[in-house]
């Protein structure tokens, strides 16, 4: 035998999935898989010619995307083919595999300074698993062609990259996980008889130590949930292969793996990404059922079961349905009411999720501090996002389309990356300082409120302290969120202008004199009131970072010197009375529409001392 078999499953194991498909929830997943495979047959195969044309027109990451699409199609087609023999599925999988094998290189031209990249990893994983599931259906010449492609387009370039000290090998971002796990998978598959491949496998195992050094016990990931998912998908696939072929459980047992599944759950309320930084997408991958299999997490099962199979199937997806059939344990029990915390802090990365109630929050806030220099992060210290009834009304403008410029040093010139594009404070029109290290200072949850405090470090400048308090008022009986009060403590050593910024895709109506108004989205309306003890001015504006993407902005500006308080209230109900803000040397009182908050002054920041709700 020229490769280890049964990398993710043996062919017999795939055939035995048939028994699952008549049972809930697998019946629905299987019917999605069939729908998708039928669609794939109607589409044209992925070819090098196609992605090269896109690349030549300036499309960034065209080969990477093509490799990913090919992988998703081949795996899903082959899983479906084993469950219910379908020659058309098999033949199409062979055609896609042959096309992939013929590519001149498996490295994306967007990264052509590197011998191996994430595209290499995705193509290599696609090819070895496909070969494993097609072995008996291919001629010997075809098998050798695929094996030769894996050697020359993945394993050798992977070695070369490490020799040339490719940055990803020792970095702690998603590339480390994807390239090492994808190429490691190929190395493991071929490693039985090929020393170079076995060596690649061992190098991959070692390279991943950097990733796990960064993961941390809580399992949070500061590149955001999109990149977390990308990394985790490959890690668990590799972990599964290591466990099956090398009896090596170390990846599953690595620190943080038992907790990390919930990171994405907490930042995708109602199945919507409320993440920070680039690539805010919900990573609903079939491969993540491996975490369920390993750790039996019922909350993760609930999340994957509930949200994975909502959207329409497409020909460009990853193998979600196929891998879900394969990896979701037959007896996995989804929690009917997931046991999620109303206030969840990932201290190591400085992120917090605040919900009125789970599993479907009607009012939800995500807050972000942390390391502004983290890979793929924006200058978004102390920024928050607010979701109302499943709609994000205070939003992060997301990331621009990936281009050469966005991947270069001029990334910081893009609006979406800058502090002024975020729901935070900027001082003297300065962007947030890249070396700032913020953290979540306080977190509390009681029956009728949630409270977090976020420390910005020096993000607004050397002379500026900035602490943001977010208090969510909750109806004790119904657990429904009523309003969110944001109290910002700013202290500037020199006279400056500060701006409190709120961004929305909804329409803003502002009464400038009263500093009150509404934000109206597609489905819900939020009432707001702004206040400050210094002379502040409320205005609105818009920004169009790219054609068709409109960012509506609500701004509260004031001159600041010494300690200054800003209050922004967002309420489901109209706010009838003016915000009353009273400050003494020892406390700060806020009264708004039957809610009375008392903050006591402590050495470094205010502390919520009393919450009265009428």
Q: Which is nearer to Zn ion, 396 or 488 (CB)?
A: 396
Nearer to Zn ion, 227 or 302 (CB): 227
Least separation in angstroms between CB 418 and Zn ion: 9
Q: How far is the CB of 252 from Zn ion (least distance, A)?
A: 32
Residue owning tokens 């479906």: 80
Least distance to Zn ion, CB of residue 425, Å: 15
Output the smallest distance, CB 377 to Zn ion, in A. 8
* 108 vs 551, beta carbon nearer Zn ion: 551
Q: Which is nearer to Zn ion, 378 or 482 (CB)?
A: 378
Q: How remote is the C-alpha of 40 from its chain's centroid? A: 27
Query: In whole angstroms, what is the distance from residue 251 CA to residue 253 CA?
Result: 5
Closest separation between CB of residue 417 and Zn ion, Å?
A: 7
Ramachandran angles phi, psi of 416, nearest 5°: -60, -20
Closest to Zn ion by CB, 168 vs 266, is 266
Smallest gap from Cβ 432 to Zn ion, in A, equals 11
* Residue 272 or 525 having the CB closest to Zn ion: 272
Residue owning tokens 């090098």: 48
Which residue bears the tokens 């300082």? 433
Nearer to Zn ion, 356 or 396 (CB): 396
Closest CA to 82 of 145, 147, 15: 15
CB of 132 to Zn ion, least distance (A): 40
Q: Would you say 380 or 488 has its CB closer to Zn ion?
A: 380
CA distances from 478 to 311, 523, 538 (A): 30, 21, 34
- Spatial contact of 488 and 383, defined as CB atoms under 8 Å apart: no
497 Cβ neighbours under 8 A, 6+ residues apart: 427, 428, 429, 557, 558, 559, 560
Provide the minimum distance between the beta carbon of 472 and Zn ion in the complex, in angstroms, as a whole number: 22
Q: Widest CA span of the chain, in angstroms? A: 83
DSSP letter, residue 373: T
Is residue 588 within 8 Å of residue 601, measured between CB atoms?
A: yes
Query: How many angstroms separate the CA atoms of 499 and 490, rounded?
Result: 11
d(CA 74, CA 89): 9
Report the C-alpha gap between 417 and 423 in whole angstroms.
Answer: 12
Query: Could you say which DSSP state residue 32 is in?
Result: H
Distance between CA 557 and CA 532 in Å, rounded? Answer: 10
Residue 96 or 433: the one with the smaller Cβ distance to Zn ion is 433
Are 213 and 237 in contact by the 8 Å Cβ rule? The answer is no
Min separation Cβ 590 and Zn ion, Å? 28
| Closest to 357 measured CA to CA, from 445, 441, 423 | 445
Which residues of this protein are in contact with Zn ion, per CB under 5 A? 378, 380, 396
Q: How far is the CB of 398 from Zn ion (least distance, A)?
A: 7
492 closest CA partner among 420, 581, 427: 427
| CA neighbor of 577 nearest in space, from 491, 504, 514 | 514
- Rounded-to-integer distance, Cα 67 and Cα 64, Å: 5
| Nearer to Zn ion (CB atom), residue 422 or residue 450 | 422
**C-beta closer to Zn ion: residue 380 or 442:** 380
Which is nearer to Zn ion, 407 or 447 (by Cβ)? 407
Least Å distance between CB 277 and Zn ion? Answer: 6
Query: Of all residues in this chain, which one has the CB nearest to Zn ion in the complex?
Result: 378
Distance between alpha carbon 163 and the CA centroid of its chain, in Å? 31
Separation of alpha carbons 37 and 79, rounded Å: 10
Q: DSSP letters of 544-560?
A: EEETTEEEEEEEEEEEE
- Least distance between Zn ion and beta carbon 123 (Å): 31
Token look-up 């499953």 returns: 9
């Amino acid at each position: 035998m020229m490769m280890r078999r049964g990398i993710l499953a043996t062919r017999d194991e795939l055939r035995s999935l048939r028994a699952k498909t008549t049972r809930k929830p697998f019946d629905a997943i299987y019917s999605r898989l069939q729908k998708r495979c039928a669609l794939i047959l109607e589409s044209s195969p992925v070819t090098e010619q196609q992605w090269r044309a896109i690349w030549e027109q300036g499309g960034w990451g065209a080969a990477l995307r093509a490799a990913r699409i090919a992988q998703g199609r081949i795996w899903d087609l082959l899983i479906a083919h084993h469950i219910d023999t379908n020659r058309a599925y098999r033949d199409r999988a062979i055609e896609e595999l042959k096309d992939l094998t013929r590519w001149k290189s498996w490295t994306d031209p967007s990264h052509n300074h590197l011998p191996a990249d994430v595209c290499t990893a995705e193509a290599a994983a696609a090819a070895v698993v496909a070969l494993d599931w097609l072995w008996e259906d291919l001629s010997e010449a075809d098998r050798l062609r695929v094996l030769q492609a894996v050697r020359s387009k993945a394993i050798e370039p992977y070695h070369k990259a490490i020799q040339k000290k490719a940055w990803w090998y020792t970095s702690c971002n998603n590339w480390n996980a994807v390239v090492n796990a994808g190429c490691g998978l190929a190395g493991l598959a071929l490693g039985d008889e090929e020393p170079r491949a076995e060596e690649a496998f061992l190098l991959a195992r070692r390279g991943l130590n950097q990733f796990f050094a960064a993961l941390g016990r809580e399992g949070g990931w500061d590149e955001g949930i999109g990149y977390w998912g990308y990394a985790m998908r490959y890690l668990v696939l590799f972990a599964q292969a290591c466990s099956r072929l090398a009896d090596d459980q170390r990846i599953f047992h690595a620190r943080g793996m038992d907790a990390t599944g919930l990171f994405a759950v907490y930042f995708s309320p109602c199945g919507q990404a409320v993440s920070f930084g680039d690539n805010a997408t919900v990573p609903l991958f079939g491969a993540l059922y491996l975490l369920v299999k390993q750790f039996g997490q019922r909350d993760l099962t609930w999340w994957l079961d509930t949200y994975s199979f909502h959207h329409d199937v497409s020909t460009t997806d990853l193998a979600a349905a196929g891998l879900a059939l394969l990896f979701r344990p037959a007896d996995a029990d989804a929690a009917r009411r997931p046991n999620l915390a109303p206030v969840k802090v990932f201290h190591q990365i400085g992120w917090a999720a605040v919900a009125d109630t789970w599993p479907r929050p009607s009012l939800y806030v995500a807050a972000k501090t942390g390391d502004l220099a983290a890979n793929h992060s924006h200058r978004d210290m102390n920024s928050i996002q607010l979701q109302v009834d499943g709609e994000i009304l205070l939003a992060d403008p997301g990331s621009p389309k990936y281009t050469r410029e966005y991947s270069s040093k001029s990334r910081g010139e893009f609006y979406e990356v800058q502090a002024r594009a975020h729901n935070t404070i900027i001082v003297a029109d300065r962007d947030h300082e890249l070396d700032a290290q913020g953290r979540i200072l306080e977190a509390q949850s009681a029956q009728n409120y949630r409270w977090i405090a976020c420390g910005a470090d020096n993000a607004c400048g050397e002379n500026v302290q900035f602490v943001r308090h977010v208090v969510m008022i909750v109806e004790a009986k119904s657990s429904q969120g009523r309003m969110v009060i944001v109290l910002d403590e700013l202290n500037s050593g020199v006279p400056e202008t500060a701006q409190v910024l709120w961004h929305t895709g909804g329409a803003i109506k502002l009464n400038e004199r009263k500093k009150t108004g509404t934000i109206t989205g597609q489905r819900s309306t939020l009432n707001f009131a702004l206040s400050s003890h210094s002379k502040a001015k409320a205005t609105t504006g818009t920004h169009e970072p790219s054609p068709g993407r409109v960012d509506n902005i609500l701004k509260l500006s004031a001159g600041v010197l010494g300690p200054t308080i800003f209050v922004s209230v967002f309420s489901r109900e109209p706010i009838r009375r003016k915000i009353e803000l009273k400050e003494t040397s020892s406390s700060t009182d806020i009264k708004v529409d039957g809610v009375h908050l008392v903050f006591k002054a402590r050495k470094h920041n205010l502390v919520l001392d009393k919450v009265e709700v009428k």
